[in-house]
Amino acid sequence: MCAFYLNKRSLMVKLSKLILLLWLPALGWAQGYGGEYDYEDDDAEQSLPYVEIIDVNDLEALGREARAEGKVILLEMSASYCGYCRTLEDNIIKPMLRSGDYTDYVLIRRLHIDSHYGLRDFNGSKTSPSKFSLRHNVQLTPTLLFLDGEGKEVSERILGVNTLEMYGAYVDKALQQGHQKITR
């Protein structure tokens, strides 16, 4: 019985190692760390006009701007380690910024929830990105929040990246709903 138990245990250890060896590269690829994609050297990205997603550190000022101009705030809750966030930015958010179609009614900003920099909240108080994300129940990156100038959600948030083919339509719908709410 002892020999059988040891053989069974060593078989389980070997099987676990094999699964781990197969699973880790898949996890790295899913998070954008596969090594074969270097976002800064991507030829398609280099041929497009440069555009930058503005990182926010003063939500109070952003809220004032949104109220004054009657705009919805699209706030991408991101993380520095998030490969899906880079995919969302490269395929949805940067093309939105490049198009110019959204400048009349949307302020697009990004907040890194793992940033150590301070953040001024919509009410003017000092907070941190991690506290802000906890208060808004953001547990997954990327999460898109659609906010009014007071920091209240005006459309249903979008969690994660599912299929890029439909994602843009979901964003457009949420922005339209949000804009209708703030202009009433």
Task: Check which CATH number belongs to the domain holding 80 and give it.
Answer: 3.40.30.10
Confidence of residue 48 (pLDDT cuts 50, 70, 90): confident
Within-domain flag for 46: no
* Digit-coded pLDDT (tens) for 10-37: 666 565 655 555 554 544 445 444 433 3
> Quick check: 122 pLDDT over 70?
yes
pLDDT level of residue 124 (50, 70, 90 thresholds): very high
Are both 66 and 92 inside the same structural domain?
yes
The answer to whether position 78 is within a domain reads yes
* Predicted TM-score of the model (pTM): 0.74
Q: What is the tally of helices (H) and strands (E) in the chain?
A: 7, 7
Beta bridge partners of 78: 112
My answer on whether 13 and 76 are in the same domain is no
Domain containing residue 176: 51-182
Is 76 domain-assigned? Answer: yes
Does residue 43 lie within any of the structural domains?
no
d(CA 29, CA 138): 24
CA distances from 32 to 11, 26, 169 (A): 32, 10, 24
Is the domain of 161 the same as that of 86?
yes
Residues 83 and 6 in one domain: no
Is the pLDDT at 123 greater than 70, yes or no? yes
Which residue did the predictor score with more confidence, 43 or 162? 162
Q: What is the pLDDT of residues 126-160, one digit of tens each?
A: 999 999 999 999 999 999 999 999 999 999 999 99
Judge whether 27 lies within some domain.
yes
Q: Structural domain tally of the chain?
A: 2
